[in-house]
Amino acid sequence: MNLQETINSKTKQGALYEKIEGGKVRCLACGHGCVISDNSTGICKVRRNNQGILMVPNGYVSGLGIDPIEKKPFFHVLPCAKTLSFGMLGCNFKCAFCQNHITSQALRDPFCFSGIEEISSDEIAALAVKKNIPLIVSTYNEPLITTEWAVEIFSKAGEKGIRGAYVSNGYATAKVLDFIRPYVDFYKVDLKTFNPDNYKRICGGSLEIVKKTIEEIYKRGFWLEIVTLLIPGFNDSEQELKDIAEFICGVSADIPWHVTAFHPDYKMKRADFTSPSSILNAVDTGKKAGLNYVYAGNMGHSQFENTFCPGCKELLVERNGYFVEKFSVLVDAGGKGICPGCKRRIAGVWK
């Protein structure tokens, strides 16, 4: 069997779809809302119509590893915690700069390839328990398109007190957000650009759907952090950075914004590396827009990876790469953070 045939065999009936006329189905897992004919897949290449039933990925991983939570990155969730991270194959986007293209584009691009490992949801949950890991993360490829598998894992892990998280492009629907909310506490969104044409041309999606998803994630009470990979000449203009920062601040000034440096990859190997000055300019833009927590990523150790109190500016969390060297946030019984200096609330889930 080729890779597509192998993936088609690792499926079960999905939950996020509706039947429509002519034996077709409409997928409700992401913002594309693909109408899929019999024996065809959606844009993601992994959700497939089999005689009017939507079959979805199940029973395998393309990657499974233990990572620090700061790598996801979540900076305001359970500092120093380990995560059990897993991914599958496929994506609903086709970003030319994708830094996980080996898995995300494996079914779309013959030059990308990733093997798979058969595994059960019980085995994944049991591994997290065995390793005393408090958080399982669906990542490496787009989790929305493999949501039923993630929920199967998270529901079993949740019985042991283990929480779930998504690392996603944020191309969701209200239906899928409601479906995952009982099992997913933390959601990281990649906000790739604020240029609608670039979202459509380079990524294959709609900026308006991503913006709406961010608003709906926040409204539903997920803990939300946002990442923008800063690519020279693509999304690093002063106006675009200002627009992104003001949009996030309009949802909540307490949403952490991570501005990360790009290294040339996939179909953009001739692009420039992001300069430190460009990253620091974006950090400054975010702060001027009113965001309380703005971070610089992929730059090595710097003070811009640290968390400071937005009120009195006291250093609360000092980070060195993925390691926390100082943590002085006071944490109440509900897991909410408090600055030890001025007693201001520090947004996040700290225990």
Find out whether the peptide bond into 73 is cis, omega within 30 degrees of 0: yes
Three-state DSSP at 8 gives helix
The CA R_g of the chain, rounded to the nearest whole Å, is 20
Domains located in the chain, CATH noted: 3-57 (no CATH), 60-306 (3.20.20.70), 307-351 (no CATH)
SS3 (DSSP) at 284: helix
Residue 268, pLDDT score: 84
Please name the amino acid found at residue 96. A
Structure tokens at 122: 């019980």
**H or E stretch including 273?**
none
Number of H helices, E strands in the chain: 9, 22
In this prediction, residue 301 carries a pLDDT of 62
Strand, helix or coil for residue 174? helix
Supply the DSSP string of 56-83, one letter for each residue. EE-SEESEEEEEEGGGTT-SSBSTT-EE
Q: Of 180, 176, 106, 178, which Cα lies nearest the Cα of 140?
A: 106
The whole-number pLDDT of residue 278 equals 94
Positions of the chain with pLDDT under 70: 1, 300-301
H helix runs in the chain, sequence order: 3-9, 101-104, 121-130, 147-158, 174-180, 196-198, 207-219, 238-251, 276-289
pLDDT digits (tens, 9 = 90+) for 100-155: 888 888 888 878 777 899 999 999 999 999 999 999 999 999 999 999 999 999 99
In angstroms, the CA 342 to CA 329 distance is: 11
Give the dihedral sign, CA 125/189/179/53.
negative
Full-model pTM? 0.96
Closest CA to 82 of 130, 43, 118, 136: 136
For 107, phi then psi, to 5°, come to: -95, -5
CA 276 to mean position of chain CA atoms: 24
Tell me the residue type at 101.
Answer: H
Quote the CA–CA distance of 265 and 190 in Å, as a whole number: 17
Q: Which three-class secondary structure state does DSSP give residue 258?
A: strand
The tokens for 98 are 């994708």
Place of tokens 């670039």: 198
Digit-coded pLDDT (tens) for 282-294: 999 999 999 999 9
Per DSSP, what are the bridge partners of residue 260? Answer: 229, 297
Position 195: which residue type? N
